[in-house]
Amino acid sequence: MKTEKRWIAATIKEAAACKTRMPWERGLRRQAMIARRKANEAQPVRHRASA
């Protein structure tokens, strides 16, 4: 018979109750993050001229 560890059950329960939204989750925050990344990639990199 396989025993289930109490800490696993408690961790799963706590993770299900978590209401914190992460930046990589789908939605408006994720779309904004992707838009910022694409805007930064589109800007050319400027190099200083060596004297």
Q: pLDDT for 27-48, tens place per residue?
A: 888 888 889 999 988 777 777 7
d(CA 37, CA 27): 16
The DSSP call for residue 20 is: P
Name the pTM for this structure: 0.39
> Where do the structural domains in the chain lie, given as residue ranges?
6-42
- The percentage of residues in the chain with a pLDDT greater than 70, rounded to a whole number, is 90
Alpha carbons within 13 angstroms on the beta-carbon side of residue 19 total 0
Alpha-carbon gap, residue 42 to 34, rounded angstroms: 12
Can you tell me the mean pLDDT for 15-33? 83
**What pLDDT does 35 receive?**
93
d(C-alpha 7, C-alpha 2), whole Å = 15
